[in-house]
Amino acid sequence: MLEKGLQFISHETVRTENYAKTMGSGDLEVFATPSMVALMENAAMYAVANELPAGSTTVGALINVTHTKPSAPGETITACATLQEVDGRKLTFSVTASDSQGVIGEGTHVRYIVDREKFLAKLKR
């Protein structure tokens, strides 16, 4: 059962593949904002994954975050997602990302519970 407070923490090391320069979101060799967002979404997905009905998953629909500090190559980034609200299929999470220096980003993320087969069938229309 999906209850407020479900939480998951995801980790990522800052490396060439997730630099802003590599991803095209900037021209510096620092942790890219799109990488931070993906890590936050990953944490939210896993926070509820074990509580979903068989054949279901969640998909991201909205994310509103700030990325306030850069993170250097080799840093470990930790993203934490906590389920704040359940409204039918709509799930709202608080998300934060941190490195060894403290919080680098935070905000909210909305995901929806979907049936995997029905969702993928929409691609064939």
In angstroms, rounded to a whole number, what is the distance separating the alpha carbons of residues 75 and 79? 13
Among residues 12, 3, 96, the alpha carbon closest in space to that of 50 is found at 3
In angstroms, rounded to a whole number, what is the distance separating the alpha carbons of residues 30 and 95? 20
- Predicted confidence band of residue 53 (pLDDT cuts 50, 70, 90): very high
Q: Active-site residue among 17, 51, 57, 67?
A: 67
The number of distinct structural domains making up the chain is 1
Long-range pairs for 115-122 at CB < 8 Å and ≥24 separation?
115/55, 115/56, 116/55, 116/56, 116/57, 117/55, 119/57, 119/59
Domain that holds residue 19: 4-114
Is residue 122 included in any domain, yes or no? no
DSSP classification of residue 30: S
pTM for the model stands at 0.96
More confident residue, 124 or 41: 41
Is residue 120 included in any domain, yes or no? no
Ligand-binding annotation for 24, yes or no, is: no
Is residue 78 included in any domain, yes or no? yes
Specify the pLDDT at position 1: 77
Specify the pLDDT at position 124: 87
pLDDT in tens, 78-111: 999 999 999 999 999 999 999 999 999 999 999 9
pLDDT at 125 over 90: no
Q: Are 89 and 2 in contact (CB under 8 A)?
A: no
Q: Active-site residue among 12, 33, 75, 82?
A: 33
Ligand-binding annotation for 116, yes or no, is: no
41 is catalytic: yes
Is residue 124 included in any domain, yes or no? no
33 is catalytic: yes
Q: What is the CATH number of the domain that holds 19?
A: 3.10.129.10
Is residue 50 included in any domain, yes or no? yes
Is residue 121 included in any domain, yes or no? no
How is residue 95 written in tokens? 């998300």
pLDDT in tens, 19-47: 999 999 999 999 999 999 999 999 999 99
67 is catalytic: yes
